[in-house]
Amino acid sequence: MRHLWFAFMLLAPLARAEGLPDLGDYAQTVLPPQEERRIGEEIMREIRASGQLVADVEVADYLGALGYRLASNSPDNRQAFTFFVIQDPTINAFALPGGFIGVHTGLIQSARSESELASVVAHEIGHVVQRHLARMVAQQRRDTLPSIAAMAVAILMARANPELAKAGVSAVQAGTVQRQLDYTREHEREADRIGLQILHDSGFDVRAMPAFFETLLKGTRFHEGSAPSFLRTHPLTTERIADVANRVEQLPYRQVPDSLEFHLIRAKLRAMQGAPADAVQFFEEGLRNGTYAMESAQRYGLALALLRSHELERAQHEIDTLRSQLPRHPMVEVLAAQVLSAAGHVREALASYREALALFPKHRGLVHGYAELLLLERQAEEAVRFLREQQLVFPNDGYLYQLQSQAYTQLGKNLLRHQAQGEAYVRAYDLAGAVNQMELALKSGDGDFYQLSIVEARLKELRQLMGDTKKR
């Protein structure tokens, strides 16, 4: 399996396998957790800027729910995690410092069961809780951050333009990979063992891990030549697969059904891929030939593809069929409101959102969709009221602040517009951008004393955070 964290190994000082630090000897060998988190946040800012982060909130929330279910059963319940999805067809997942775990869309679509997907996420959690990344970069913690950020972007570029990626990391001293190979293989074995236990304790089918490792092995071989040698996948070995399979045999058999959300998310990713007409054809052929894992998910994907191709009557027909097959489901409700809106039935769409939010108040797909439609209809006052309520429920959702900034722009309230955009930047790990927005808010000239005081206090806090970051 290829890991983004392989890049950090290249940046770390070379170490002999027999000289590995003990896991308990953190004081001298491991970056402080807050430093790990800072490095991870810097890399996340670069990943966001790359444009490859999947912004769809339903996809993000599905992976987050799966990840937190697994993380709650990890050996370290103090570790914070952030799960995110990268738009990339390769079968891959990776861990970053500070508990950031990324999963490629290709992995989600290639997984034959939810337990297979969970097995890979559990493996990455194993890397995090064993502090593998921290142990590699601890000795260079003051000097490696710019190189790490550049390496993260280079790896994201590798698939599309290997030569550009190679140029992006040419200044990084990679050392001799083979001399570190035993070290990284030991990390893989540790992550396998920890991940397998997490998978079992979280109620998934542990036999999915060796089964999906076989898929990953095939995927590695297929994609191996698409990137420079120092960015290639660590090859999965038959020895590793056999070791996991032997461990699985010691655990009781458990048959675990997939969640409906797993199938809907996979259908959504496929429906959003490529030309709309091709997506429609894919789902139509699946329904016609019976080549699907779940009919309702297949129809959901078809409805979404039909929405993309603006065949709205057919999309509505598929939604009606879905509603006859399934209990009320928030993802179907989001799609239904989107079809109504696209057809110009805005009043009905807003009513549909309100009704669904009463049933599923914490589904962010509904929250975002309703706020977006309010802004589209220039109902800025209602949007502000609604967004303020939602920010109390989802205080770390930067997109809510971005929408709030748009609402204040419509209302001509410049201080509040810049303040909200600043808070959006904070949640995107861009402190410099946030400080700039708060400074613009103070210069806007339209705020009252109370609003100005709040912005001044927040600006002081953000500058202090930036100063603390630079001192580390």
- In the structure encoding, which two tokens stand for residue 374, read together? 């309010």
Average pLDDT over residues 194-212: 94
pLDDT reading at 160 higher than 50: no
- For 440-458, how does the pLDDT look when each residue is reduced to its tens digit (9 = 90+)? 999 999 999 999 999 999 9
Going from the C-alpha of 285 to that of each of 151, 268, 280, 291, 300, the distances in angstroms are 41, 16, 9, 8, 14
Average pLDDT over residues 184-196: 86
- For 344-355, how does the pLDDT look when each residue is reduced to its tens digit (9 = 90+)? 999 999 999 999
Q: Which pLDDT score, from 0 to 100, does residue 149 have?
A: 52
CA-based nearest residue to 333, from 357, 309, 314, 317: 357
Active-site residue identified among 41, 192, 258, 333: 192
* 180-184, 351-355, 376-380, 462-466: range with lowest mean pLDDT: 180-184
What proportion of the chain, given as a percentage, has pLDDT over 70? 77
Cα dihedral across residues 325, 326, 328, 331: positive or negative = negative
pLDDT reading at 98 higher than 60: yes
Q: Which pLDDT score, from 0 to 100, does residue 210 have?
A: 92
Q: At the top level of CATH, which class does the domain 260-471 belong to?
A: mainly alpha
Going from the C-alpha of 448 to that of each of 413, 414, 416, 438, the distances in angstroms are 11, 12, 11, 15
Which single residue is written with the structure tokens 């991870």? 40
Q: What type of residue is 393?
A: V
Q: Which pLDDT score, from 0 to 100, does residue 156 have?
A: 52
Q: What type of residue is 221?
A: R
**Residues 386-420 as b or e (16 or more Cβ within 10 Å = b):** bbeebbeeeeebbbbbbbbbbbbbeeebbbbbbbb
Average pLDDT over residues 17-28: 38
pLDDT reading at 432 higher than 90: yes
Active site residue 311: no
* 71-75, 105-109, 188-192: range with lowest mean pLDDT: 188-192
Q: Which pLDDT score, from 0 to 100, does residue 15 have?
A: 31
3-state secondary structure of 398: helix
Contacts of 300 (CB under 8 A, 6+ apart): 264, 267, 268, 318, 322, 331, 332, 335
pLDDT reading at 256 higher than 70: yes
* 55-69, 142-156, 313-327, 361-375: range with lowest mean pLDDT: 142-156
472 or 203, greater pLDDT: 203
Active-site residue identified among 35, 58, 61, 124: 124
- For 229-253, how does the pLDDT look when each residue is reduced to its tens digit (9 = 90+)? 222 334 567 788 888 999 999 988 8
- For 29-73, how does the pLDDT look when each residue is reduced to its tens digit (9 = 90+)? 456 778 888 888 988 998 888 889 999 999 999 999 999 999 999
DSSP at 21: P
User: H helices within 114-207, ranges in order?
Assistant: 114-129, 132-137, 145-158, 162-168, 177-201
226 burial level (CB within 10 Å; 0-12, 13-18, 19+): middle
Could you tell me the residue ranges of all domains in the chain?
Answer: 6-249, 260-471
CA 210 to chain centre: 24
pTM metric for this prediction: 0.85
- In the structure encoding, which two tokens stand for residue 16, read together? 């002999």
pLDDT band at 24 (very low <50, low <70, confident <90, very high): very low
Active site residue 188: no
How confident is the prediction for the chain on average, in pLDDT? 83
